Structure 1
Amino acid sequence: MVSATDRQAILHILQHSFAENKAVNFAVRGGKKNEKGRQILMAYALWYAESFGEVIINETRDAAALLVEPQRKRTSRKSVLWDLRLAFRSIGILRTAKIMKREAQVKKYFPRTPYLYLWFIGVDVQTQGQGRGGQLLSSIKELAVARQLPIYLATSTERNFAFYETHGLTCTGIFSDQYYTTHIYCYSPA
């Protein structure tokens, strides 16, 4: 369980480090101008990771990651309420079908066997470039080794391609559509 203090730190880190992210701004109605929509998306992602995966925050509380284990996902009254809240208050009903269609296309690059999905990894904008993200990613890789599960992630942020490759992840696919290009990365524990 994530403490209230950690929850606030995680939401702050992710809201600000993803303010210019193509995928996030595509999903949120109104794009990067809609800070409230981004807050709701990140609160949803945090709840989702707590419910169906892992939430990781470093000791200095300036780097955080949300991991999901898709094989743990269960539909419940609570999950439906969270989904509806996201659709109505962040994405918008008309955009939901577009988002789901794109997500289904990207998921074709993921395995049918169990894996860890690194949904979000972010570092406070004040401490980016100081190695915090790499340290956090190393911790996530250790978790993957302990669980003997590969890590998959999807990113549209070009400056992060080299970061993931430097830290041992391999680009396993590229999906492009009229909106933006997404690179799929994988780390397989030895």
Structure 2
Amino acid sequence: MMTEATAKDKGLIIDILTQSFQDNQSVNYLIPPDGRRLNRIRALMDYSYETCKLFGKVYLSDDKKGCALVSFPERKKTTLKSLLLEVKLILNGIGFGNISKAISREKAISKNYPADPIYYLWFIGVRPDSQNNGVGKQLMRDLVAESERMKRPIYLETSTVKNLPWYKKFGLDVYNQLDFGYNLFLIRNGQ
């Protein structure tokens, strides 16, 4: 089972996501390939965590080996805090040179969302030493159940081809594919 994360879980969640996504094409598309790469990925995960705390939910598996960041895009508002988070992301994460790349990619992806509210699974990750032990499977089951209770379809993206069959097991299918110099698969359920 998953539980909603508390402020004391933030460091653990950022660690799990940084470890899980350090070799991810979609994440590294926005991260400058410099000596600060891992710190920049941490900054991206910090931004994602804080954004989901404001406009969604952050979950941790009961064994604290996996986590998920969920966003409800229609709730997102521009506030002083959200602007400060974006500035921090630019300074510590993506850098000034990748701002237009990030905005263009976001625009291309979000064009594919319906007008109705969605359950956007931004990140799901399991500590690398705990993968393939059912942690992610249980998290995903819980996320699907919650999205069904909320009557919202799940939307997500992945650049990891080997994850496509895994998502399919939960009733999620690729509905579009975008090319950013790597393939980004847009996935949803209930359509």
Q: Same fold (TM over 0.5)?
A: yes
**Matched residue, 2:77:** 74
Q: Which consecutive segments of 4 or more residues in structure 1 shift more than 4 A?
A: none
Q: Do the aligned partners of 2:52 and 2:58 also contact (CA within 8 Å) in 1?
A: yes
Closer, same or farther: CA 31–145 of 1 in aligned 2, 3 Å = farther
The residue that corresponds to 1:181 in the other structure is: 183
RMSD (CA atoms)? 1.6
CA contact (8 A) 2:67 2:124 kept: yes
Q: By how many angstroms is 1:33 displaced?
A: 6.2
**Alignment map for 1:31-180 (pairs within 5 Å):** 34-177=37-180, 179-180=181-182
Say if 2:5 and 2:60, in contact at 8 Å, map to a contact too: no
Structure 1 unaligned runs (5+)? none
Aligned to 2:28: 25
Give distance in 2, aligned partners of 1:28 and 1:108.
23
Q: Specify whether residues 126 and 32 from structure 1 end up closer, same or farther in structure 2 by C-alpha distance, changes over 3 A only.
A: farther
Deviation at 1:187, TM superposition (A): 1.7
Question: May I ask how many residue pairs the two structures share in their alignment?
Answer: 188
Please say if residues 154 and 184 of structure 1, whose CA atoms lie closer than 8 Å, have aligned partners that are also in contact: yes
Q: Which sections of structure 2, spanning at least 5 residues, go unmatched?
A: none
CA distance in 2: counterparts of 1:46 and 1:139, whole angstroms: 19
* CA distance in 2 between partners of 1:186 and 1:72 (Å): 20
Q: Which amino acid aligns with 2:187?
A: Y
Q: Following the alignment from structure 1 to structure 2, what is the Cα–Cα distance between the partners of residues 33 and 88?
A: 12
Give, in whole Å, the separation in 2 of the partners of 1:168 and 1:138. 10
